[in-house]
Amino acid sequence: MKHPQMSANSSRLKGGIYVALGANLASAVGPPRRTLEEALARFRHAGVDVLDVSHWYETRPMGGRDQPRYVNGVAEVATERDPEALLEFLHGIEESLGRQRRRRWESRTVDLDLIDYRGLERTGPPPVLPHPGAVSRLFVLLPLNDVAPAWRHPVTGQAIDCLIRALPRRDGDIERLAPDSRQGLS
Protein backbone atom coordinates (compact mmCIF):
# COMPACT_ATOMS: atom_id res chain seq x y z
CA MET A 1 0.00 0.00 0.00
CA LYS A 2 1.72 3.14 -1.15
CA HIS A 3 1.63 5.98 1.31
CA PRO A 4 -0.85 8.68 0.31
CA GLN A 5 1.28 11.61 1.47
CA MET A 6 4.38 11.28 -0.70
CA SER A 7 6.20 14.54 -1.23
CA ALA A 8 7.10 16.12 -4.54
CA ASN A 9 10.70 14.95 -4.05
CA SER A 10 9.70 11.27 -4.21
CA SER A 11 10.01 11.06 -7.96
CA ARG A 12 13.72 12.02 -7.89
CA LEU A 13 14.67 9.88 -4.89
CA LYS A 14 15.11 6.15 -4.99
CA GLY A 15 13.41 3.99 -2.36
CA GLY A 16 14.61 0.59 -1.19
CA ILE A 17 15.52 1.90 2.27
CA TYR A 18 13.62 0.19 5.09
CA VAL A 19 13.29 1.47 8.64
CA ALA A 20 11.75 -0.62 11.44
CA LEU A 21 9.77 1.32 14.03
CA GLY A 22 8.87 0.12 17.51
CA ALA A 23 7.70 1.47 20.87
CA ASN A 24 6.16 0.16 24.08
CA LEU A 25 6.13 3.23 26.34
CA ALA A 26 4.17 6.44 26.01
CA SER A 27 6.12 9.53 24.99
CA ALA A 28 5.32 13.22 25.37
CA VAL A 29 3.20 12.99 22.19
CA GLY A 30 1.08 10.04 23.34
CA PRO A 31 0.88 6.24 23.43
CA PRO A 32 3.30 4.08 21.41
CA ARG A 33 1.34 4.03 18.15
CA ARG A 34 0.93 7.79 18.18
CA THR A 35 4.66 8.17 18.89
CA LEU A 36 5.51 6.06 15.84
CA GLU A 37 3.16 8.14 13.69
CA GLU A 38 4.89 11.27 15.01
CA ALA A 39 8.28 9.79 14.08
CA LEU A 40 7.00 9.29 10.51
CA ALA A 41 5.76 12.89 10.43
CA ARG A 42 9.23 14.04 11.50
CA PHE A 43 10.75 12.08 8.62
CA ARG A 44 8.61 14.02 6.18
CA HIS A 45 9.41 17.40 7.77
CA ALA A 46 13.13 16.70 7.41
CA GLY A 47 13.04 15.71 3.75
CA VAL A 48 13.00 11.94 4.23
CA ASP A 49 10.15 10.76 2.01
CA VAL A 50 7.90 8.06 3.41
CA LEU A 51 6.98 5.94 0.41
CA ASP A 52 5.09 3.16 2.16
CA VAL A 53 4.13 2.13 5.69
CA SER A 54 3.24 -1.36 6.87
CA HIS A 55 0.34 -2.29 9.05
CA TRP A 56 1.00 -1.81 12.75
CA TYR A 57 1.57 -4.94 14.81
CA GLU A 58 1.36 -5.54 18.54
CA THR A 59 4.16 -7.83 19.66
CA ARG A 60 5.51 -9.61 22.68
CA PRO A 61 8.77 -8.12 24.04
CA MET A 62 11.98 -9.93 23.06
CA GLY A 63 13.24 -12.46 25.55
CA GLY A 64 9.93 -12.71 27.45
CA ARG A 65 10.80 -9.70 29.54
CA ASP A 66 8.28 -8.31 31.99
CA GLN A 67 7.34 -5.16 30.10
CA PRO A 68 4.44 -3.82 28.02
CA ARG A 69 3.79 -5.20 24.53
CA TYR A 70 5.29 -3.29 21.61
CA VAL A 71 3.76 -1.64 18.58
CA ASN A 72 5.94 -2.34 15.52
CA GLY A 73 5.94 -1.47 11.84
CA VAL A 74 8.23 -0.83 8.88
CA ALA A 75 8.45 2.14 6.54
CA GLU A 76 10.04 2.33 3.13
CA VAL A 77 11.74 5.69 2.78
CA ALA A 78 13.66 7.63 0.15
CA THR A 79 16.44 10.06 0.97
CA GLU A 80 19.65 11.49 -0.38
CA ARG A 81 21.31 10.94 3.02
CA ASP A 82 24.00 8.28 3.16
CA PRO A 83 23.57 5.42 5.67
CA GLU A 84 25.62 7.14 8.38
CA ALA A 85 23.69 10.40 8.10
CA LEU A 86 20.38 8.52 8.04
CA LEU A 87 21.29 6.58 11.18
CA GLU A 88 22.29 9.83 12.91
CA PHE A 89 18.95 11.33 11.84
CA LEU A 90 17.04 8.31 13.24
CA HIS A 91 18.91 8.53 16.55
CA GLY A 92 18.06 12.26 16.73
CA ILE A 93 14.35 11.48 16.35
CA GLU A 94 14.61 8.80 19.04
CA GLU A 95 16.24 11.26 21.43
CA SER A 96 13.69 14.00 20.68
CA LEU A 97 10.88 11.54 21.47
CA GLY A 98 12.38 10.59 24.83
CA ARG A 99 14.43 7.48 24.03
CA GLN A 100 17.02 6.75 26.69
CA ARG A 101 19.66 4.07 26.08
CA ARG A 102 20.55 2.33 29.33
CA ARG A 103 20.17 -1.41 28.77
CA ARG A 104 19.70 -3.66 25.77
CA TRP A 105 16.09 -4.67 25.04
CA GLU A 106 14.62 -2.39 27.67
CA SER A 107 11.24 -0.68 27.30
CA ARG A 108 11.42 2.40 25.11
CA THR A 109 9.40 5.33 23.84
CA VAL A 110 10.67 4.73 20.30
CA ASP A 111 13.15 2.54 18.46
CA LEU A 112 14.11 3.26 14.84
CA ASP A 113 16.35 0.71 13.14
CA LEU A 114 17.82 0.92 9.66
CA ILE A 115 17.08 -2.57 8.28
CA ASP A 116 18.23 -2.30 4.68
CA TYR A 117 19.72 0.50 2.62
CA ARG A 118 19.16 -0.42 -1.03
CA GLY A 119 20.77 -3.83 -0.58
CA LEU A 120 24.06 -2.40 0.71
CA GLU A 121 26.24 -4.92 2.55
CA ARG A 122 28.62 -3.62 5.21
CA THR A 123 30.06 -4.82 8.50
CA GLY A 124 31.09 -1.41 9.81
CA PRO A 125 31.34 1.32 10.74
CA PRO A 126 27.74 1.70 11.97
CA PRO A 127 25.27 1.08 10.61
CA VAL A 128 25.90 -2.60 9.92
CA LEU A 129 23.80 -3.49 6.89
CA PRO A 130 21.57 -5.29 6.45
CA HIS A 131 20.57 -5.06 10.13
CA PRO A 132 22.04 -8.23 11.68
CA GLY A 133 19.01 -9.01 13.85
CA ALA A 134 16.30 -8.48 11.26
CA VAL A 135 16.11 -12.09 10.04
CA SER A 136 15.41 -13.41 13.53
CA ARG A 137 12.63 -10.96 14.35
CA LEU A 138 9.10 -11.66 13.25
CA PHE A 139 8.15 -8.13 14.35
CA VAL A 140 10.48 -6.83 11.61
CA LEU A 141 9.86 -9.40 8.88
CA LEU A 142 6.04 -9.39 8.89
CA PRO A 143 5.77 -5.59 8.52
CA LEU A 144 8.65 -5.62 6.01
CA ASN A 145 6.67 -8.16 3.99
CA ASP A 146 3.74 -5.69 3.93
CA VAL A 147 5.83 -3.07 2.14
CA ALA A 148 8.33 -5.25 0.27
CA PRO A 149 6.92 -8.73 -0.44
CA ALA A 150 9.63 -9.39 -3.04
CA TRP A 151 12.45 -8.40 -0.64
CA ARG A 152 15.41 -10.76 -0.43
CA HIS A 153 18.11 -10.70 2.20
CA PRO A 154 21.02 -8.86 0.57
CA VAL A 155 23.65 -11.31 1.88
CA THR A 156 21.94 -14.71 1.75
CA GLY A 157 19.47 -14.05 -1.06
CA GLN A 158 16.70 -15.72 0.96
CA ALA A 159 13.18 -14.57 0.13
CA ILE A 160 11.28 -12.86 2.90
CA ASP A 161 8.48 -15.44 2.93
CA CYS A 162 11.06 -18.20 3.55
CA LEU A 163 12.62 -16.19 6.38
CA ILE A 164 9.18 -15.71 7.97
CA ARG A 165 8.29 -19.41 7.74
CA ALA A 166 11.61 -20.37 9.35
CA LEU A 167 10.89 -18.45 12.56
CA PRO A 168 9.15 -20.11 15.51
CA ARG A 169 5.85 -18.56 16.50
CA ARG A 170 3.68 -18.88 19.60
CA ASP A 171 0.11 -17.70 20.03
CA GLY A 172 0.13 -14.05 21.00
CA ASP A 173 3.65 -13.30 19.74
CA ILE A 174 2.40 -10.90 17.09
CA GLU A 175 -1.02 -9.56 16.11
CA ARG A 176 -1.87 -7.12 13.36
CA LEU A 177 -3.65 -4.05 14.71
CA ALA A 178 -6.76 -2.56 13.15
CA PRO A 179 -6.20 0.49 10.94
CA ASP A 180 -6.39 3.87 12.63
CA SER A 181 -8.57 5.93 10.32
CA ARG A 182 -7.64 9.16 12.13
CA GLN A 183 -4.06 9.03 10.84
CA GLY A 184 -4.41 7.27 7.50
CA LEU A 185 -1.08 5.53 8.08
CA SER A 186 -2.23 1.95 8.55
Q: What is the pTM of this model?
A: 0.88
Which pLDDT does position 63 carry in this prediction? 64
> Is residue 36 within 8 Å of residue 56, measured between CB atoms?
yes
Q: For residues 86 and 93, give the distance between their C-alpha atoms in angstroms, rounded to a whole number.
A: 11
- The amino acid occupying position 66 is D
Mind listing the pLDDT tens digit of every residue in the chain (186 residues)? 444 344 444 445 688 999 999 999 999 999 999 999 999 999 998 989 999 999 999 999 986 668 899 999 999 999 999 999 999 999 999 999 987 766 666 778 999 999 999 999 999 899 999 999 999 999 999 999 999 999 999 999 999 999 999 999 888 899 999 986 444 443
Q: For residues 59 and 139, give the distance between their C-alpha atoms in angstroms, rounded to a whole number.
A: 7
Which pLDDT does position 34 carry in this prediction? 97
Which pLDDT does position 9 carry in this prediction? 45
Burial pattern 4-27, b for ≥16 Cβ within 10 A else e, equals eebeeebeebebebbbbbbbbbeb
The torsion angles phi and psi of 18, rounded to 5 degrees, stand at -120, 130
Q: For residues 73 and 10, give the distance between their C-alpha atoms in angstroms, rounded to a whole number.
A: 21
